[in-house]
Amino acid sequence: MRPGEIIPGDEPVELNPGRERVRLRVRNLGDRPVQVGSHYHFAAVNPGLEFDREAARGHRLDVPAGTSVRFEPGVEREVDLVPLRGNRRVPGLRSEFRLSSGTGEF
């Protein structure tokens, strides 16, 4: 083994095992592409994306960490979302999508 070498396992890694998923249809109504990162609170993404924001509250994309999904102008696609984990606080994002004060719920 060399420093920095990666030796992959024989089996594929399952992404977010055992997590409930929500599938949503998303359409980019804008004239520019929108890229959304793996851990961004999906309900709070660019307002130019049209989808069921209430269903997306408290969820993020079901993609590998550090990756993103690009939504091209005028294109509609389906995405899978998984619930946010940890203390489920997402400070610094759009204020209308923060936790309800004191409830711990989105």
Q: Classify domain 22-84 at the CATH class level.
A: mainly beta
Task: Encode the chain (106 residues) as per-residue pLDDT tens digits.
Answer: 899 999 989 999 899 999 999 999 999 999 999 999 999 999 999 999 999 999 998 899 999 999 999 999 999 999 999 999 887 777 667 766 655 554 445 5
Which regions of the chain does DSSP assign to beta strands (E)?
22-28, 34-37, 49-50, 59-61, 68-71, 76-83
For the chain, the structural domain boundaries read: 22-84
Q: Which two tokens stand for residue 55?
A: 């269903």
